[in-house]
Structure 1
Amino acid sequence: MSWFAHSGQRLALAAAAATVAVPVLVTAPGAAVAHVPADRAASARPAQAASWRIAPCPKPAGPRVSAPTRPSPPAADPVLRTVGGDQLATAGLAVPASAGAPPAVTATSWLVADLDTGAVLGACGAHEYATPASVQKLLLAATMMGRLDPERVVTITREDVDIEPGSSSAGLIEGGRYSIETLWLGLLLASGNDAANTLARLGGGTAEGGVREMNELAAKLGAFQTHAVTPSGLDAPGQFTSAYDLALIMRACLAEPLFGKYALTRYTQIPDQGKHHKGFQIQNQNLLIDNYPGALGGKTGYTDLARHTYVGAAERDGRRLVVTVLGAEYVPLRGWEQGAALLDWGFAQPADVSVGRLVDPGASAANPSAAAQAADTPGTGTNALADAGGTGTPPLLAFGAVVAAAGLVLSAAARRRRGNRTRPRH
């Protein structure tokens, strides 16, 4: 029985739908990919109408809990919106025509994909820009975990613990000495922003250098709509991601064996730092690992601007799925619960249907539709993660142009939003 079926009081959530229609592309199995803009939908030919329809992303009935003013995102790039397939270039729902209705969630965007085949089973606004909050720590983990010795003991600096008052912390102290493994556990269990600063500094020479390397990896993974400004995910002008990008990043995390070990750790002890700083226990904030059979780990996030964000993964009957959730509210379902409901829906879908693909590392932004087909090419797929940016992967033909263009847009956006921050939670 699925997780969602165990929560009978929440079943009505799946039947509720938004009252405002958002364009959606729903394609029949085997049908040709054909994206039709919303303003041309009414004049589509009858032959086209058989393979797609306009529908909203399912949402719970009633008003959102809150509607904060979010930063203006970069201008939509029609090329980047088709990374992974033309069917994902919509702000609305993209699911196979044969699929049942996905559960209604408060998230403004989400995606469910198969980690091994790369098939995107369904999405809502897959390429819509959103603020990440602490799920950005997954990009830090994907960038630095493989290069830092977990047994190495390091000393914490003043800059490491210079985090926004009230934001989440692993409880590190200036001058304290901790193993790299303890820092990773502090990052993934307690969402420690102090741990994020430290790990970015250790991996990149400085925290700023660590962020640069995070952005370089995002581009190599094909996460072209992701731009990190802080290593922790604390809100900053020009910092964005997308539901699609986060699936690529989570796939890279799970390719690192240590990540799975840390992400499934329920609790750990932060060690004593002399007689005046006693150790203490921290617990994993990702409740999916305790409540969803087959959970592989994930990350929670929240700031006033991002709202609730969530990335999780699970395995069932040999099939591994990833779910990403952005811009969600806490009620009627928490972020991880919305992720669990979407995972249930994903596992109920046939393995041979999809609306797109997770591109392989090194895929080109210049020809995203062709890059998406790499998932079906022998010798590519998720094993190519170990070779990100190296030989054997499609060349990143437009990397320089994409980064330069994105930098100009993000710089302009940052100037518009400067001084507009609100205090994040973690």
Structure 2
Amino acid sequence: MCAAALHAPVPAAATAVEAPATPATVPCPRLEVKPPPTDREPLPTPPKDDPVLRAVGGDGLATDGLVIPSGARRPPALTATSWLVADLDTGEVLGGCGPHVYGTPASVQKLLLAAAVMDKLDPRRTITVTRGDLDIEPGSSAVGLVEGGKYSIATLWLGLLLNSGNEAANALARLGGGAGGVKAGLAAMNAEAQRLGAFQTHAVTPSGLDGPGQFTSAYDLALIARECFADPVFVRYALTRTARVPAQKRPKVGGFQIQNENRLIFEYPGALGGKTGFTHLARHSYVGAAERNGRRLVATLLGAERRPLLSWQQGAALLDWGFSLPEDASVGKLVDPGGMAPGGSAPSAAPAASGPAPAPGEARAATAPTLPTGAAAAIAVTLAAAPLLLLLRRQRRRIRRTRTQLFD
């Protein structure tokens, strides 16, 4: 199916001296909901829109409104302010609502933490929880780890993905950052976002608790999710229904069971897992993936309310819609990691008849827009550090084999 956004017709009477007609923004199907509480803090001011970043993955994605394939049935009405559906394997974007509109992530940001440091940490290693790990917002989600408690890294990942434990996020970021601690862990998260092409994502807290300048987009979340779901061990964590947090001797605390908060894995056939998120400021966010007839799709959404549909139900509705589309349906593309080179433009989605897209790194026109300075610098640093990255990849592969053996 030809990739196309919904556009208003261009007036036939337009002349050469007139400015080009601007495509109309097509409103996204929305459910009527009660407005968010008025006592919450005002939403943070997002960075100024960059036309290059808004077009990452294809020009059709540079809209605040709805973009779906030509002839596709209308997607479900949701409360989410932005969303996206994509194929995890082919990278085709099947549709979206404001795919590149900045949003506040809440706990779906924990997926970026997993993408950045899961491969660096041996799941069998036992660590000691520190007082700093427990420095989280009072009343926010926690697993129930205790200062001085000794837990395996595998238990921390389960606490993070099943129970959205913010203290588990702090501990994992600290461990992933090595000698640099949480600060270095956050730097690793932001470097991973740049590597993946998630240029609208900036992490300020490892847990997704709100912080100044912390943003993402529905498109970026799909890039991050694709990296996570490429790791079978992540999928095993995400599909775990219940887990046990072990008892501690000092301090003396009994063991207890935790349950996966993502209802998709209990209710949706073929579910692969995902992540829920909520803060008073961000409202509800969600990432969920499923497989059907050999096809793996992911749905991401931001800024949702929980009534009349919970966030996972909105994700399930988007997955159903995506699975109803033919496999060649597309409005854009999830860029490959490192697929945007300095001086290059965002890859554009094109109808199949127009020929294959340029290969990553292929020379582009001299007039193409350039990457933002920060993104170009990050890529340049990555290229310069190639030998070190090769060693890190080898280390990650060794740890991944260990993690696989742990689950077998």
Which of 304, 324, 329 is residue 305 of structure 2 equivalent to?
329
How big is the alpha-carbon RMSD for the aligned residues of Structure 1 and Structure 2?
A: 2.9
- Contact persistence 2:331–2:349 (CA under 8 A): no
After superposition, the Cα gap between the structure-2 partners of 1:201 and 1:54, relative to the gap in structure 1 and judged at 3 Å, is closer
Deviation at 1:62, TM superposition (A): 5.0
Which of 284, 287, 301 is residue 260 of structure 2 equivalent to?
284
Matching residue of 1:87: 60
1:74 & 1:369 partners in 2: Cα distance?
Answer: 18
Normalising by structure 2, report the TM-score.
Answer: 0.81
Deviation at 1:370, TM superposition (A): 3.1
- Contact persistence 1:219–1:399 (CA under 8 A): no
Normalising by structure 1, report the TM-score.
Answer: 0.78
Matching residue of 1:96: 69
1:261 aligns with 2:236: yes
Matching residue of 1:351: 327
| Paired amino acid for 1:166 | G
Matching residue of 2:284: 308
**SS in structure 2 at match of 1:313:** strand
1:345 & 1:200 partners in 2: Cα distance?
Answer: 36
1:162 aligns with 2:157: no
Matching residue of 1:209: 184
After superposition, the Cα gap between the structure-2 partners of 1:398 and 1:138, relative to the gap in structure 1 and judged at 3 Å, is farther
Deviation at 1:134, TM superposition (A): 0.2
Which of 178, 183, 190 is residue 163 of structure 2 equivalent to?
190
Size of the aligned set, in residue pairs, is 358
Matching residue of 2:2: 30
Q: Quote the sequence identity (%).
A: 62
2:122 & 2:33 partners in 1: Cα distance?
Answer: 50
**SS in structure 1 at match of 2:47:** coil
**SS in structure 2 at match of 1:79:** helix
Deviation at 1:219, TM superposition (A): 0.4
1:243 aligns with 2:215: no
- Contact persistence 1:360–1:371 (CA under 8 A): no
1:74 & 1:41 partners in 2: Cα distance?
Answer: 31
1:44 & 1:302 partners in 2: Cα distance?
Answer: 49
- Contact persistence 2:143–2:165 (CA under 8 A): yes
1:56 aligns with 2:33: no
| Paired amino acid for 1:213 | A
1:300 & 1:44 partners in 2: Cα distance?
Answer: 50
Deviation at 1:403, TM superposition (A): 4.0
Unpaired segments ≥5 residues, structure 1: 1-28, 47-51, 381-391, 407-426
1:297 & 1:127 partners in 2: Cα distance?
Answer: 23
Deviation at 1:30, TM superposition (A): 3.3
After superposition, the Cα gap between the structure-2 partners of 1:34 and 1:338, relative to the gap in structure 1 and judged at 3 Å, is closer
Which of 112, 126, 132 is residue 153 of structure 1 equivalent to?
126
1:144 & 1:208 partners in 2: Cα distance?
Answer: 13
Matching residue of 1:78: 51
Q: Deviations over 1:235-259 (max 9, x none)?
A: 0000000000000000000111210
1:129 aligns with 2:105: no
Deviation at 1:60, TM superposition (A): 1.1
Deviation at 1:274, TM superposition (A): 1.2
Which of 342, 347, 355 is residue 370 of structure 1 equivalent to?
347
| Paired amino acid for 1:245 | D
